[in-house]
Amino acid sequence: MTEEKKVTTTNNTEPKPNIPKPNMALKNFKFNPRRNRICFFTDQGIIPDYRDTNVISKFLSPTKQIISARKTGTTAKNQRLLSTAVKRARYLGLLPYTVNHKGLDGNWMVN
């Protein structure tokens, strides 16, 4: 007797579970050890200063947090100076602490 194998096709009509896709923006921020990053302040020959809010704001995230040196490429010395400058600018009211922060005049400091 020969045994016949039954070939069954699976036509599942059950819905697949909704698995969220990974955020593409987070994939772009992965640390790449092979890529040499150049410090912005060393390249331009300037020192981070609390009065240069345009330069300092480039190193803040959309939620107004200081971006790490690993992502921006700043040197350790300039990162310390940058964090001090940001803290001074926040204390003087030149930069907001958070996204929704009222300034001295009572208006929202949303950029």
- Please tell me the predicted confidence (pLDDT) of residue 74: 92
How many residues belong to the chain? Answer: 111
- Please tell me the predicted confidence (pLDDT) of residue 84: 96
- Residue matched to tokens 């016949």: 4
Q: Which domains are delineated in the chain?
A: 39-111 (4.10.640.10)
- In one-letter notation, the amino acid at residue 36 is N
- Please tell me the predicted confidence (pLDDT) of residue 91: 93
12 CB-near residues (< 8 Å, 6+ apart): none
**CA separation for the pair 84, 87 (Å, rounded):** 5
Q: Model's pTM, two decimal places?
A: 0.61
- Please tell me the predicted confidence (pLDDT) of residue 85: 96
- Please tell me the predicted confidence (pLDDT) of residue 38: 85
Nearest Cα residue to 56 out of 27, 28, 82: 82
Mean pLDDT by 10 residues, the chain (111 residues): 59 61 49 71 91 91 90 93 96 86 62 52
- Please tell me the predicted confidence (pLDDT) of residue 26: 46
